[in-house]
Structure 1
Amino acid sequence: MANKGLGKGLGALFPTAEVNEADVVNEVPLAELRPNPYQPRKHFDPEALEELVSSIKEHGIVQPLVVRKSIRGFEIVAGERRFRAAKEANFSYVPVVVKDFTDEQMMEIALIENLQREDLNSIEIAQAYKKLMDHFSITQEDLAARVGKSRPHVTNYLRLLQLPPEVQENVSRGTFSMGHARALRGIKDQEILLKLAKKVEKEGASVRQLEEWVQQINQVQQKKKKPKAKEESNPAYKRYEDMLQEAFSTPVRIRQGRRKGRIEIEYFSQRELERLIEMLQNDRILD
């Protein structure tokens, strides 16, 4: 179920995003083209781009770009790498097929196309997910269905955006893997987290080594805290958390103190907050 959507291919999800024999191909000035404003990919591999430049210099642009008409010129729907390579090769014109797409379709196509090619790093994926949710006021469940992924997959990526910018940049550059990022999320103290991140970068530590360091740090931090009530370690709380997470379809944490506790419910967009409020009202919890 997790990869059902993406497994079909971009053409199956958006048939009009691909060029077919019935489409009319036009030559348009390169200067009239603009990148997709919803393009999630920020980093383009220079070596791979140079190979494409060499290829189009020798063979030309075999596959036309798919574009949509804008107020001034055209916006690229699919084919930004070809567009960049054409600029590097000093082309004046490129072949395009003009089609109609909404803003929502532009965002989805750009995201799914890059996900299928695995061109995006983890932070770019997380930022693209958040942008889709915020722009169109959709929930994690809606987004997961759109991109053919599970809701926990979407949640795990969105949580990366809670990391400090310095750590996010390391993930973007490829210095840290998704595993490194997820392990670092286990450190609550931001100062300690940043120091540990620098240690990982300096020593080139593996994910397993980092996980061991995180465990050691948390054990030390736990010993410094005052003993908590026995109820906190009660396995019933974990069961209650699972029940609430299943009911609300979002992460839930129960924090139990000596005499009182609190329930924390996560949400990642205004639309999702409204969904949770509506559920609580329907259950008369707020009455």
Structure 2
Amino acid sequence: MSQNKRSSLGRGLSALMADLQPDADTNDTNDAPRGAPVTVPTEQITPNPDQPRRVFDQDALAELADSIRHRGVIQPLIVRRHPDDQNIYQIVAGERRWRAAQIAQLHELPVLIREFSDSEMLEVAIIENIQRADLNAIDEAASYRQLMSRFGHTQEKVAEALGKSRSHIANLMRLLNLPEQVQEWVREEKLSAGHARALVTVDDPVGIARRIIEKGMSVREVEALLRKKSDAPTKPRHKEEKDADTRALEGDLSATLKMRVQIKHAGQDGGQLTITYRDLEQLDRLCQILAGSA
């Protein structure tokens, strides 16, 4: 493991978030960030070359720039000194404010200078993106996965540090199992996160997603459609006789989970246990039970 990664994990998510106050781009009054900000010429500030966020809404930037002209930059940017030039500062958090300030033709910006490694700099940038109100569900889920896979954080640790529920993070990360085409439609806001969650377990998510878009279906309409499909009669199968112990165990598990449980035992070769959930709320509850958090 690299030294940078050890440093990042040693500081922890909570420590890395100490400078990240609630987003000030909405121009609400926030508590002042810890430490003393200093003023730096705008031309001496450069963006993070590894910034995870690549697309910035131009209309939103113009709106923020107009607010900055009247009220200035309320929340300082978080920066570090450039590794190759101590007179240049790299943005750790606040690139959106920096871009809007340039549109507003500000010559100086308030910054908080912090010492971050390359790994920590990327981690904070990911965290800041997660806090954006306009972040789509797929990019948010990808950010959680990046925090966990690249920095070794667990769902529980990420949830605690970011003030999210573990089930929220787990539900979003399941969206990354959808085909890339469906994920792209979510990014383009042709599908909502609710639509995407309903498609996670279906056999033909691309086909159903296309139907949702063409017909302008609501999430409730999609869930009703999927329930109708799951309730459709199937080809009759030979009904296998189950012993009394297996039937009793199915009844006990069904009563405990409040969901239908079926057991197909194959002797010494093991078997299958099938749990049927009715809707997304039941699925979320099942996930919490399996994770030991219910």
Q: What are structure 1's unaligned runs of at least 5 residues? A: 1-9, 243-253, 265-287
Deviation readout 1:148-188 (Å, 9 max, x if unpaired): 2232222111101001111111222222222111111130x
Q: What are structure 2's unaligned runs of at least 5 residues? A: 1-12, 22-31, 275-294
Percent identity between matched residues is 37
Contact 1:28 1:93 in 2 (8 A): yes
Larger Rg: 2
Q: Which moved more, 1:142-151 or 1:127-136?
A: 142-151
Task: Work out whether 1:25 is the aligned partner of 2:38.
Answer: yes
Report the equivalent of 1:159: 174
Deviation readout 1:27-78 (Å, 9 max, x if unpaired): 2343641137354x45433322111122334555454322112324433222
Task: Work out whether 1:131 is the aligned partner of 2:131.
Answer: no
Normalising to structure 2: TM-score of the pair? Answer: 0.65
Task: Work out whether 1:66 is the aligned partner of 2:81.
Answer: no
Report the equivalent of 2:134: 119
Contact 2:45 2:91 in 1 (8 A): no
3-state secondary structure, aligned to 1:27: strand
Displacement of 1:239: 7.4
Distance 1:84 1:25 in 2: 19
Distance 1:236 1:230 in 2: 18
Displacement of 1:198: 0.4
Whichever structure has more helix as a proportion of its residues is 1
Task: Work out whether 1:96 is the aligned partner of 2:111.
Answer: yes
Residues 229, 110 of structure 1: alpha-carbon distance in 2 compared, 3 angstrom cutoff: farther
Residues 142, 22 of structure 1: alpha-carbon distance in 2 compared, 3 angstrom cutoff: closer
Displacement of 1:106: 4.0
Give the paired residue count.
238
Distance 1:228 1:126 in 2: 42
Contact 2:16 2:120 in 1 (8 A): no
Displacement of 1:202: 0.9
Report the equivalent of 2:50: 37
Distance 2:174 2:15 in 1: 30
Displacement of 1:114: 4.4
Question: Whose RCO is larger (CA < 8 A, sep 6+)?
Answer: 1
Report the equivalent of 2:271: 261
Deviation readout 1:208-267 (Å, 9 max, x if unpaired): 1101111222334x6148456576983445579x7xxxxxxxxxxx98546342579xxx
Report the equivalent of 2:9: none
Displacement of 1:121: 1.6
3-state secondary structure, aligned to 1:75: strand
